[in-house]
Amino acid sequence: MRFAGDVAGTKKAATDILQLCFEAKDWKSLNEQIVNLSKKRGQLKQAVTAMVQQAMQYIDETPDLETRIELIKTLNSVSAGKIYVEIERARLIKKLAKIKEEQGLIAEAADLMQEVAVETFGAMAKTEKIAFILEQVRLCLDRQDYVRAQILSRKISPRVFDIDSSKEKKKPKEGDNVVEEPPADIPSLLELKRIYYELMIRYYFHNNDYLEICRCYKAIYEIPSIRENPSQWIPVLRKICWYLILAPHDPMQSSLLNSTLEDKNLSEIPKFRLLLKQLVTMEVIQWTSLWNSYKDEFENEKNMLGGSLGDKAAEDLKQRIIEHNILVVSRYYSRITLKRLAELLCLTVEEAEKHLSEMVVSKALVAKIDRPMGIVCFQVAKDSNEILNSWAVNLEKLLDLVEKSCHQIHKETMVHKAALK
The answer to whether residue 91 scores a pLDDT higher than 70 is yes
- What confidence score (pLDDT) does residue 400 get? 92
Torsion over CA: 107, 112, 118, 119 (sign): positive
Confidence label for 407 from pLDDT (cuts 50, 70 and 90):
very high
The whole-angstrom distance between residue 75's C-alpha and the CA centroid of its chain comes to: 36
Taking the C-alpha atoms of residue 417 and residue 19, their distance in angstroms, rounded to an integer, is 120
The answer to whether residue 175 scores a pLDDT higher than 60 is no
Average pLDDT for the chain:
81
Confidence label for 410 from pLDDT (cuts 50, 70 and 90):
very high
Helix ranges, 262-348 (H) = 270-280, 287-300, 313-332, 338-345
Confidence label for 402 from pLDDT (cuts 50, 70 and 90):
very high
Confidence label for 404 from pLDDT (cuts 50, 70 and 90):
very high
Domain positions in the chain are 1-82, 335-400
Confidence label for 176 from pLDDT (cuts 50, 70 and 90):
very low
Q: Which of the four CATH numbers 1.10.1040.10, 1.10.10.10, 3.40.50.2000, 3.30.1050.10 does domain 335-400 have? A: 1.10.10.10
Confidence label for 305 from pLDDT (cuts 50, 70 and 90):
low
The segment with the largest mean pLDDT, out of 145-149, 237-241, 408-412, is 408-412
The answer to whether residue 209 scores a pLDDT higher than 90 is no
Nearest to residue 121, comparing CAs of 111, 129, 110, 131?
A: 129
- Give this prediction's pTM: 0.76
Task: List, for residues 239-291, the tens digit of each pLDDT value.
Answer: 888 888 888 888 888 888 888 888 888 788 888 888 888 888 888 888 888 88
* DSSP state string for 178-192: PPPPPPTTSPPHHHH
